[in-house]
Amino acid sequence: MAIFLQRPRPLPVIITAAAVLLCTALGVWQVQRRDWKHDLIATIEAGLEADPVVLPGKIEDPAAWDYRRVTVTGVFRHDQESFLQAQSRNGNFGWQVITPLERLGQSTVLVNRGWVPFDNKDPETRLEGQVTGTVSISGIARLPWRQGWLAREYVFDNDPVTKTFYEAALGEMAAAHDIDVAPIFVDADETLNPGGWPKGGQTVVKLTDNHLSYAIQWFSLAIAGIVIFVLYHRRKDD
């Protein structure tokens, strides 16, 4: 008994070819994403392991500074705080306090001074931490980030009036106080602030790398499509 293929009809051929090509393309895309993710992880690790450098007065390429250790010197404008809702490193909900740091003759930088509980959003509850005069801050440079479109559309609503935000919308924070700022944030390190608040060192690096498993799934679906096509069109010749 031999197994032969029936003459395939056009519609199954078109559907199978489209499905196989789509799954193969998605598998290739995931392989490319995996390479990109590995390069990104290597860049972040190199930046975090490098010695701190002074953040320049003018930043031409903000992306080149993402996740680099930096130092900035200036005077905090505590009257222009913004509040970014976030979890602490221990998983507690509260606010990250974003404060402009005025640098002499250079651009102002928004500094994420750290996390406070909801009850300490009011600066009057943490007056000791409202340091005055010239200070030097060590931390990690970060690009602004946005929530996904679904969260922006239906869940999160930044409020420039109350200076409360649910994503690191640097431009909106600056506009809320009518100030010009550098195109990056600086997350202050874990150096203890007077009075204990805000608590710095809140930078979290969490990058998932599931692209290889996704690629295998897509390539497997492409192969499965071919196998199903062959089995569907086989005929027996006695």
Burial class of residue 62 in the structure, from the number of CB atoms within 10 Å of its CB (0-12 exposed, 13-18 middle, 19+ buried): middle
Q: Is 201 in contact with 114 (CB distance < 8 Å)?
A: yes
What gap in Å lies between CA 148 and CA 236, rounded to an integer? 53
The model's pLDDT over 196-205, given as tens digits with 9 standing for 90+, comes to: 999 998 887 7
Segment (H or E) for 100: strand 93-102
* 92 phi/psi in degrees, rounded to 5: -90, 140
The candidate with the shortest Cα–Cα distance to 138, out of 88, 97, 187, is 187
- Dist CA 110 CA 81 (whole Å): 9
Whether 104 has a pLDDT exceeding 50, the answer reads: yes
CA distance 52 to 85: 27
Residue 151 has pLDDT above 70, yes or no: no
pTM of the predicted model as reported, rounded to 2 decimal places: 0.74
Mean pLDDT of 155-178: 87
CA distances to 49, 83, 199, 201, 218 from 111, in Å: 21, 11, 13, 12, 43
For residues 113-140, average pLDDT:
93
